[in-house]
Structure formats: C-alpha cells, structure tokens
C-alpha cells in the first residue's frame, strides 16, 4: 500500500474521530446548559421580583390612603363643627376637603389595580413553579440520557483512537508530519481522491501531467488547485 493510500485510510479514522468530537462537544454543551430549566427559573425570578415590587407599592399606598382618610375625617369635623364662620376660611376648608377626598378616590383606584395585578402575578408564579418542577424532572431524565451517551461516545472514541494509532505506526513519520499539517490547514481533509480526472475535494480537473503522476503512484502529488495530497481511488 502506497504512503498516500495509507494516509487516506488514516484520514478515514481521523474524520470519524472529528465527527465523534463534534457529537461529544454537543452533548457536553447540553449537559452544561440546562437551557429549558434555566429559562423557567429566570422567568420565575422575574415574576417573583415584580410581585414583591407591586406588594411593596400596594402597602405604601395603603398607608398613604389611611393617612388621607384620617386627614379627611379631621377636615370634615372642622368643616361641620360650626367653629369656623369666616366665609373665606370655610371656602378654603371645603376646597382642601374636596382635594383630599379626590386623592382618596385615586388611591383606592390605584390600590384596586395593584391588587388585580398582584393576583395575576401570583397565578403566574404558581404556574411557573409547577412548570419548573416539570422541567426539572424532565431535565433529570435528559441528563441521565446525555451522561450515558457521553460515556458511550467517549468509549467509542478511545477504541477508535487505539485503532488509529496502531494504523499510524505503519506510516513514515515525515509523511505523517506533512499529513497533519495539511489536515490543520485544509479543514480536516489532507488527502483527496481523484475520480474521472477530478480532485474530489475542490471538484476541479487535474492537468494531464498531474494526473499521470498520480496514476504512477511513485511520488506524492499535490492538487494544483487546493494543495491536498492526491489519491487515485
């Protein structure tokens, strides 16, 4: 078997290892992500924070409403006590009493709106808590599947690496160095088949002289277009 043919066979091992590495990376990324669980957790945190904010606002406005009601009671007592007889003072007192009552009405409307929003958020929080429990349970199942898959892929990679290294021991080290350099610079494909006069990596036709040298199999020939080693399939 010629050196290039050996390298082409070695490349089959390496391409399979590249695929395995890609699958292992995907599994590891999914294991580290917990994407769905984290999405629900983030939504729940946002809703809880908003609910706390609304509840705090509701409590503050409730205190303000109580203060306004007390103020209104005092003003009405003064207004109807008969102690104030000056028309200008009475008019000013009536205006202030009316303003305080208007503020009370606005506060009560705002408190009602806040109460409705709080109820909606409590329901949303409850739904998200249930959803989070479901997502966590589903994730535990998926994590178990992924862990098993990762172990299987790792074992498959180890076994393939062993076979690859045993095979590589039969190849000249200078040729191996050239092959490894081309693999790094050519996206993983250092050796390309030649079929019907075409380099199967770049799909361009070879000059007749190059083609004859490839057919002779006496030396390593590089594609004049993409620079890969050529192998006559």
Q: Identify the band that residue 1 occupies on the pLDDT scale cut at 50, 70 and 90.
A: very low
Per-residue pLDDT tens digits for 191-211: 999 999 999 999 999 998 888
Say if CB 19 and CB 193 are below 8 A apart: no
Backbone angles phi, psi at 197, to 5 degrees: 75, 10
Count of all residues that appear for the chain in the document:
233
pLDDT tens digits for range 66-106: 999 999 999 999 988 888 888 898 899 899 999 999 999 99
> What pLDDT does 182 receive?
95
Neighbours of 78 (CB within 10 A): 16
Enter the pTM of the model.
Answer: 0.65
Q: Which two tokens mark 157? A: 């990679």
Residue 2 is predicted with a pLDDT of 61
Q: How do residues 144-194 score in pLDDT, each as one tens digit?
A: 999 999 999 999 999 999 999 999 998 988 889 999 999 999 999 999 999
- Cα 62 to Cα 48, 74, 89: the distances in Å are 21, 19, 30
Which residues make Cβ contacts (< 8 Å) with residue 190, sequence separation at least 6? Answer: 7, 11, 179, 180, 182, 183, 228, 229
The sign of the dihedral angle between the CA atoms of 160, 161, 163, 167 is positive
Cβ-Cβ contacts under 8 Å for 136 (sequence gap 6 or more): 37
Q: List Cα–Cα distances, 89 to 92, 154, 215, 232, in angstroms.
A: 5, 90, 116, 111
Provide the token pair at 103.
């503020």
Rounded mean pLDDT of 215-226? Answer: 88
Contact indicator for 124, 89 with CB cutoff of 8 Å: no
Contact 217, 232 (CB under 8 A): yes
Q: Enumerate the β-bridge partners of residue 199.
A: 194
């Amino acid at each position: 078997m010629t050196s290039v043919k050996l390298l082409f066979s070695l490349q089959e091992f390496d391409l399979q290892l590249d695929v395995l590495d890609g699958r292992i990376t995907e599994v590891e990324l999914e294991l580290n992500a917990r994407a769905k669980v984290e999405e629900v957790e983030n939504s729940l945190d946002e809703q809880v924070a908003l609910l706390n904010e609304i509840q705090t606002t509701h409590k503050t406005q409730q205190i303000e409403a109580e203060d306004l009601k007390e103020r209104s009671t005092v003003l009405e007592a003064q207004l109807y006590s008969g102690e104030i007889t000056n028309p200008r003072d009475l008019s000013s007192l009536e205006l202030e009493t009316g303003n305080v009552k208007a503020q009370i009405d606005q506060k009560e409307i705002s408190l009602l709106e806040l109460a409705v929003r709080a109820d909606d958020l409590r329901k949303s929080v409850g739904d998200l808590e249930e959803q989070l429990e479901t997502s966590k349970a589903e994730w535990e199942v998926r994590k178990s599947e992924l862990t098993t898959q990762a172990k299987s892929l790792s074992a498959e990679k180890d076994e393939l690496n062993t076979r690859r290294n045993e095979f590589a021991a039969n190849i000249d080290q200078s040729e191996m160095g050239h092959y490894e350099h081309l693999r790094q610079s050519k996206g993983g494909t250092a050796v390309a088949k030649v079929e019907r006069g075409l380099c199967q990596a770049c799909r361009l036709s070879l000059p007749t002289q190059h083609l004859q040298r490839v057919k002779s199999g006496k030396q390593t020939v590089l594609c004049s277009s993409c620079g890969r080693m050529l192998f006559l399939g």
